[in-house]
């Protein structure tokens, strides 16, 4: 699975890349803002885009809306905030689901996407 991560924290981007690649996913790129993320999505063709709910001056939910109209990758929202605090926004969002940053893993992504089996290898 090819993943693009969108988050305004360089520390989190590095940590998330390490975790996901260590679990067999391919992180094709990272972006800290919406415009760069949209461009990378068109260039790199990820299967899934992890989008932080809070991108500093930008809303991750607004970015998810833009992805829904311009990209084929599925979007998963990520945040340090608990899912319960974001329920209304998540329901209204075109995102496939949500993963708390503290629980980010290949398994959590696969669960959201309905991919229960691990790929061979």
Domain containing residue 78:
2-112
Q: With respect to residue 9, please indicate whether it lies within any of the assigned structural domains.
A: yes
Q: With respect to residue 53, please indicate whether it lies within any of the assigned structural domains.
A: yes
What is residue 116's predicted lDDT score, i.e. its pLDDT?
46
Q: With respect to residue 118, please indicate whether it lies within any of the assigned structural domains.
A: no
Q: How many domains does the chain have?
A: 1
Q: With respect to residue 79, please indicate whether it lies within any of the assigned structural domains.
A: yes
Q: With respect to residue 117, please indicate whether it lies within any of the assigned structural domains.
A: no
The model's pTM is 0.92
Which CATH number does the domain housing residue 37 bear?
3.40.50.2300
Q: With respect to residue 90, please indicate whether it lies within any of the assigned structural domains.
A: yes
What is residue 71's predicted lDDT score, i.e. its pLDDT?
73
Q: With respect to residue 119, please indicate whether it lies within any of the assigned structural domains.
A: no
Measured between its terminal Cα atoms, the distance across the chain in Å is 13
pLDDT in tens, the chain (121 residues): 999 999 999 999 999 999 999 999 999 999 998 889 999 999 999 999 999 999 988 999 999 999 888 878 899 999 999 899 999 999 999 999 999 999 999 999 999 998 744 443 3
What is residue 119's predicted lDDT score, i.e. its pLDDT?
43
């Amino acid at each position: 699975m090819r993943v693009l991560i969108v988050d305004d924290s360089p520390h989190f981007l590095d940590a998330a890349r390490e975790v996901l690649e260590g679990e067999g996913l391919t992180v094709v790129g990272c972006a800290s803002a919406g415009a760069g993320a949209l461009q990378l999505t068109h260039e790199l063709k990820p299967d899934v885009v992890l989008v932080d709910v809070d991108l500093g001056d930008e809303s991750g939910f607004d970015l998810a809306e833009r992805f829904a109209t311009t990209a084929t990758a599925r979007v998963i929202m990520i945040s340090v905030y608990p899912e319960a605090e974001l329920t209304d926004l998540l329901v209204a969002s075109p995102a496939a689901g949500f993963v708390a940053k503290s629980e980010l893993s290949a398994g959590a992504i696969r669960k959201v996407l309905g991919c229960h089996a691990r790929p061979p290898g």
